[in-house]
Structure 1
Amino acid sequence: MLALSVLTVLTIGYLLYFTELAGVRSVEVVGASQVPSERIRELAAVPAGQPMLRVDTDEIAMRVGALPSVASVEVSRSWPSTIKIAVTERRPIGFYDTGRKLYLVDRDGFVYKEIGEPVAGLPKLELSKVGPHDAATRSVASVLADLPPQLREQVRVGRAETPGSIELALADGRIVRWGDAEQTQRKAKVLAVLLTREGEVYDVSSPELPTVS
């Protein structure tokens, strides 16, 4: 009886690992909008019929994750015969002008996609350098990503020389001295009140003592 049980387990293991009886029949892609699903399937390169247990999900995630527009990837087996690729794409918070080309930038400061012209609703980033390892970039990107929608849509430029010197230029020409990336929600609430007053420069770097000049 024991020998039969062992043989049964070995047979099932063999069928699952070495034959097409439990092979891949489909590849499902979810979460992709900027990158065509077919392109992701091409990069995943999962052979039809390959035994599900022999699919290297980490290798697939690495290949798909190399796409600039992809922030993260999770690859899983959906039994009996589907490989599921869940993609989280980067979302732009602004664009950067090199003087020759324009690029989208996400909330982590990652420069990931060239564009032909400015995108409506996205502010321009005015920074000495842009990248995920630049502290000023991360600070400005963090603020722009976390602004309430009604305030974010008014911003045309986000700039900073240092992480603590963030400024926002609004569509009507007014300037907001934001300071650092701390207390974004509190500063946004204070600013919403200040913007009802006439002025040119609105300083909320210290939200306890805001000024208008």
Structure 2
Amino acid sequence: MARRDDAGQDGAVVPVVRSLTTAPTNRVPVLSTGMAERLAEQRAMRRHRIVRRIGLGAVAALVLGGALWVLLYSELLSFDTDHLAVNGTGSSVDPVAIREVVSQEAGTSLALLDTVRLRDQILAVPNVRDVDIARQWPSGLRVDVEAREPVVAVPVEGGAALLDRDAVEVARVDSAPPELPVIDIPLTGDDRRTVEAALVVLNSLPEGLAAEVASISAASQDAVTLTLRDGVVVEWGSSQDSALKVRVLETLRTAEVSRGAAVFDVSAPTFPITR
């Protein structure tokens, strides 16, 4: 576009060109007040969440620490001998001896009490066959003892040795109790294995039949003989197939054909003999 320049000397037309570009500016864009407030709120919320998490963590740590202190060190959860229950000592285990062993743990936190070590100590008490220990919160213990109970008597010099089902000597007495079967086999050397074999046979009998056994003899581990209280002799043989031998013997004793038999040979249970 041209225009007349009034300042010109000769009236010539001087072209004037207007720039179509925007002049550069150094101004920084300014966020709206509302946006700035929202950003500030978000930063404040993040700080609040962080502080809240730290606070909750501190509270949880204090609660956990307090609970652990109560569990491990407070007298409220320590073993008190007044809350000790000992069961199952029978006639062969001294309950006082059990209590003396367990009482050594008095004042120990139940959570820290070493029941494995305590169990080993109780097993060392004479005639304890097995034991189970249970914590009784908040401050007690229950000790269930399986005592070794005599099941047979073996003649020895000066009396009789009473053995349990594992052939462990429980006691020595002047004479064999009448309710126990007698094993007339020495307890020394190889004969002891024969005694153990005889006990395996006795342990395999049902309770009613075992109560009828008056004595047990054995020429070897494979030649066990039972004498019942009514005088009947049962040639049992080895401890193998004992369950089958029990069924065969019970059948023979009630069968009409074997009525009055004095000897039942079930050493070969599929071919039993009576005479």
Shared fold by TM > 0.5? yes
* Residue from 63, 78, 97 that aligns with 1:8: 63
> Would the alpha carbon gap of residues 42 and 111 (structure 1) be closer, same or farther in structure 2, given more than 3 Å must change?
same
- How large is the RMSD of aligned CA atoms in angstroms? 2.4
Bigger share in helix:
2
- 1:178: how far off? 0.3
TM (norm. structure 2) is 0.68
Deviation per residue, 1:21-75 (Å, 9 max, x gap): 2111211112222234333111223443322123221222112211232110111
Larger RCO (alpha carbons 8 Å, 6+ apart):
1
Following the alignment from structure 1 to structure 2, what is the Cα–Cα distance between the partners of residues 28 and 130? 39
Query: Are 1:19 and 2:74 counterparts?
Result: yes
Contiguous gaps of at least 5 residues in structure 1: none
**Alignment map for 1:76-155 (pairs within 5 Å):** 76-129=134-187, 134-155=192-213
Task: Give the conservation status (yes or no) of the 8 Å contact 1:123–1:157.
Answer: yes
> Which of 5-14 and 202-211 deviates more?
5-14
Following the alignment from structure 2 to structure 1, what is the Cα–Cα distance between the partners of residues 188 and 263? 26
Task: Give the conservation status (yes or no) of the 8 Å contact 1:29–1:87.
Answer: yes
Following the alignment from structure 2 to structure 1, what is the Cα–Cα distance between the partners of residues 204 and 149? 12
> Would the alpha carbon gap of residues 187 and 48 (structure 1) be closer, same or farther in structure 2, given more than 3 Å must change?
same
Q: Find the counterpart in structure 1 of residue 17 from structure 2.
A: none
* Residue from 233, 245, 264 that aligns with 1:202: 264
Deviation beyond 4 Å, 4+ runs, structure 1 = none
Q: Find the counterpart in structure 2 of residue 61 from structure 1.
A: 119
Following the alignment from structure 1 to structure 2, what is the Cα–Cα distance between the partners of residues 130 and 8? 64
TM (norm. structure 1) is 0.86
Task: Give the conservation status (yes or no) of the 8 Å contact 1:46–1:55.
Answer: no
Deviation per residue, 1:104-163 (Å, 9 max, x gap): 2122222222234322321011223269x9542332112212323332233211122432
- 1:188: how far off? 2.2
> Would the alpha carbon gap of residues 203 and 190 (structure 1) be closer, same or farther in structure 2, given more than 3 Å must change?
same
Matched length: 212
Q: Find the counterpart in structure 1 of residue 90 from structure 2.
A: 33
Identity, in percent, stands at 27
- 1:179: how far off? 0.6
- 1:204: how far off? 0.6
